[in-house]
Amino acid sequence: MEDSRPGDFAPRSYMRNLKLPFCPGCGLYLLSDTFLRAVNELGHKNLDGFCFVSGIGCASWIPSPYYLADSVHTLHGRSIPVATGIKLFRPDLDVVVFGGDGDIVGIGMSHFIHAARRNTDILVIMGNNMTYGMTGGQVAPTTPLNSITATTPYGSFEHPVDAVALAIAAGAEFSARWTTAQPRELQASLRKGLQLSGFRFIEVVTQCPVEYGRKAGLGGAAQILQYFRERAIPVEESKKLSADELDSRIVVGEFFGRHRPTLVEKVSGISRRSMEIGRTH
């Protein structure tokens, strides 16, 4: 795939004069940078055509207030409904949701499923650091089985959610997963996510060395990235393995759902239909 030439891309031109607040080694720096590179690649000189919506958690801080754009920083778990309300009245805007795994598939999971079901015209980008980083590294719905976290001192005993498969099953048009060890592939999927219509979901498995890596015994940022490289398995290859074998792997790649009318398209159809019925009665 093609890279942006370094001279063409200045992330600061898309940002307010503020520094992202993440811990040293955090993968969210790379996620933000890669997203802006994808935006740049698509020819957007600024973020005027975007509206960013986020919830509560580290990943939700990526756009708010750091991007020089409209950003709505909502409650924990509620970014997707707010994004829905915005998109219905501003279909011309690219509405992009940033959130963490706790935000999107923990407290906000119901909205995630229903937005996919409705084929709501938004792109949801989930930084999955496998923990509740902001609150000190508690177990999350995405934490790998048997991990030591702040609230699972004897190892986590719940099976983690596969958000990418869930999105497709619920009706998403496009769903992708990469880790921060695959920035080029991630950039390509982000670009695709921005270009497609309907409900689009991108999960970025990202390192949280301070609150997760340390407790779970994965080590610092470099070691976690190495762990991602070892565990990542492309979709095609993953089909050769059994479900049990895949438990310890991170399946990466792109998944495509059915193309269906989007929420915005259906709502404008209802509007026309109500007017027609109004005339005949």
Partner 1 sequence: MALSSSVQQPAEVHLLSGNEACVEGALASGCQFFAGYPISPANEISELLSERLPKAGGVFMQMEDELASIGAVMGASWAGRKAMTATSGPGFSLMQETIGWAFMTETPCVVVDVQRAGPGTGQATKSAQGDVMQARWGTHGDYAAVVLSPNSVQEMYESTVRAFNLSEKYRTPVVVLADETIAHVRERVSSPGPASSQVLSRRAPQRGDTDFFGSREVAPMPAVGGGFNVAVTASTHDERGTRFTQSGGVHRRMVEALNAKIYNHLSDIVETECHNVEDCDVGVVSYGCTSRSAYEAVEMAEAAGLKVGHVRLKTLWPFPEEEVARLAGHVRRIVVPEMNLGQIAGEVQKVASQKVVKVNKIGGGELIAPEEILEAMERGR
Residue numbers of the site for partner 1 (CB under 8 A)? Answer: 18, 48, 51, 53, 64-65, 68-75, 77-78, 80-90, 92-93, 110-111, 114, 267, 270-271, 273-275, 278
| Smallest gap from residue 18 Cβ to partner 1 (A) | 8
Q: Which is nearer to partner 1, 82 or 172 (CB)?
A: 82
Contacts of 257 (CB under 8 A, 6+ apart): 167, 168, 171, 172, 173, 174, 175
Say which residue the tokens 């973020």 belong to: 47
How many CB atoms lie under 10 A from the CB of residue 140?
26
What is the SS3 assignment for 37?
A: helix
Evaluate the omega torsion of the peptide bond into residue 65 and state whether it is cis, within 30 degrees of 0: yes
Q: Which is nearer to partner 1, 31 or 116 (CB)?
A: 116
Whether the Cβ atoms of residue 202 and residue 229 lie closer than 8 Å to each other = no
| Smallest gap from residue 47 Cβ to partner 1 (A) | 8
Q: Which is nearer to partner 1, 86 or 196 (CB)?
A: 86
| Smallest gap from residue 110 Cβ to partner 1 (A) | 5
Structure tokens at 119: 């084929």
Q: Which is nearer to partner 1, 62 or 186 (CB)?
A: 62
Structure tokens at 224: 């976690």
Structure tokens at 256: 């495509």
| Smallest gap from residue 267 Cβ to partner 1 (A) | 6
| Smallest gap from residue 157 Cβ to partner 1 (A) | 28
Q: Which is nearer to partner 1, 259 or 273 (CB)?
A: 273
